[in-house]
A = this chain, B = another copy of it.
Amino acid sequence: MKSEDIARMAGVSRSTVSRVINNYSNVPDETRRKVMKVIEKYHYSPNSSARALAGKKTDTIGLFIVSIAEKGSSTRVYQNNYFSPFIEAVIDTANERGVYVLVHSIFSVRDYAKIKQAFIEKRMDAGIIVGTEKDIGVMAEVASMGYPLVIIDYSPEDILRLVGKGRISVINSMDDKGTREIIKYLLDLGHKDIGILAGRDNTYSGRVRYKAYKEMLAENGIEPRIEWDLKGEFIKKIAEQAVIDLIKTGNLPTVLFCCNDDMAISAMDVLSRENIKVPDDISIVGFDDIMPASLVKPALTTVRVPIYDIAKKAVELVLEMIEDTARNISTYTLETRLVIRDSCKKHG
């Protein structure tokens, strides 16, 4: 079934069929009804490739999930608890607005080229990228080609440096404020020996959370201890090893600030296996408030990142940018919120 068939059966030309499908204003109601009747009767829907080729939008957005495992290891990071709800929220929001979503995994630096390729092949009108590392040339290229891009968790300054002008929006959460809030909560609880299980330095949130932690210590006259400065890279396995190594030293802080919940939960797992009680022997806090955070025992005190709102905002922005061809770079930063549960206790 093609528009020509519809045209014939409705007694009009393909042009007219196209006009009613695309809601042209200069089609009399009578004609419109006549054509719609045939369209509905046969459940006709225009070939998307033909439409796209003729200059229409694809009504598809790309969602690129970057999860680069360590050193080119090809281990797939299944069940990343941050990405999952994000993916679902993007899909749901887009689908609600009648837009299709092409989801793509990026597992290596080479894979970044896929983003550019998908644009060149005209498979989508715009893209959302989550989990990007810094200094990715492809993003600048894509932006310079004028394709709309929403990037989640990226330094606003770096974006400006990387791409002079482009249709780019960046969405972050208030990682600085969130970190300060939770560290203050720990200080108020009487903790001074505050260790950190840091995220990826290559990641904006990883850097911001780390920096805010360091600043809070300094502002409160606490000397940071190198042996409590653990590198977890936002990767469960690495976080686990770091905690195992820490335990071996026999010298624990009174609380460990984990830069995301996945690492916090891994840490709790390791501690539990070593019979170190949370929060009695050591307090633990995380960041993100992913679903399992409220499920583990003790329930994890953490900072809620509005993953759903970020996803929704990303879709809204990307759809706006598709309509608006002005080349602007805009930044949004969504609120975080301290969520106090059971994984910390008063100290001293």
A226 close to chain B: CB less than 8 A: no
The residues of B that contact A102 with a CB separation of less than 8 Å are 60, 100-103
The residues of B that contact A48 with a CB separation of less than 8 Å are 49, 121-123
A104 close to chain B: CB less than 8 A: yes
- Decide if B297 touches A116 in the complex (CB within 8 Å): no
- Decide if B105 touches A91 in the complex (CB within 8 Å): yes
Q: Mark A43-57, 1 if CB is under 8 A from B, else 0.
A: 111111110110000
The residues of B that contact A121 with a CB separation of less than 8 Å are 45-48
- Decide if B104 touches A91 in the complex (CB within 8 Å): yes
A92 close to chain B: CB less than 8 A: yes
Minimum C-beta distance from A311 to chain B (A): 10
The residues of B that contact A222 with a CB separation of less than 8 Å are none
Q: Which of B43, B84, B122, B265 contacts A49 (CB 8 A)?
A: B122
How long is the Cα–Cα vector from A345 to B106 in the complex, in angstroms? Answer: 44
Within 8 A of B (CB), among A81-107: 81, 83-85, 87-89, 91-92, 95, 100-105, 107
The residues of B that contact A81 with a CB separation of less than 8 Å are 291
The residues of B that contact A52 with a CB separation of less than 8 Å are 49
- Decide if B78 touches A105 in the complex (CB within 8 Å): no
- Decide if A291 touches B79 in the complex (CB within 8 Å): yes
A308 close to chain B: CB less than 8 A: yes
- Decide if B120 touches A45 in the complex (CB within 8 Å): yes
- Decide if B43 touches A53 in the complex (CB within 8 Å): no
Q: How many chain A residues have a CB neighbour from B under 8 Å?
A: 51
The residues of B that contact A105 with a CB separation of less than 8 Å are 88, 91-92, 95
The residues of B that contact A117 with a CB separation of less than 8 Å are 43, 45
The residues of B that contact A100 with a CB separation of less than 8 Å are 102, 104, 118, 123
A346 close to chain B: CB less than 8 A: no
Most chain B CB atoms below 10 A, which of A65, A100, A101: A100
A76 close to chain B: CB less than 8 A: yes
- Decide if A103 touches B104 in the complex (CB within 8 Å): no
How long is the Cα–Cα vector from A60 to B123 in the complex, in angstroms? Answer: 10
How long is the Cα–Cα vector from A46 to B45 in the complex, in angstroms? Answer: 25
Minimum C-beta distance from A62 to chain B (A): 9
How long is the Cα–Cα vector from A58 to B121 in the complex, in angstroms? Answer: 11
The residues of B that contact A137 with a CB separation of less than 8 Å are none
The residues of B that contact A107 with a CB separation of less than 8 Å are 92
Q: Which of B85, B103, B296 contacts A295 (CB 8 A)?
A: B296
A164 close to chain B: CB less than 8 A: no
A190 close to chain B: CB less than 8 A: no
Q: Which of B43, B84, B297 contacts A296 (CB 8 A)?
A: B297
Given A43-B117, A81-B291, A91-B103, 4 more pairs with CB closer than 8 A: A45-B120, A78-B308, A87-B103, A95-B104
A sample of 19 inter-chain contacts (CB < 8 A) reads: A43-B116, A43-B120, A44-B120, A45-B117, A45-B120, A48-B49, A48-B121, A49-B52, A49-B53, A49-B122, A53-B53, A78-B89, A80-B88, A84-B84, A84-B87, A91-B105, A92-B105, A100-B118, A269-B295
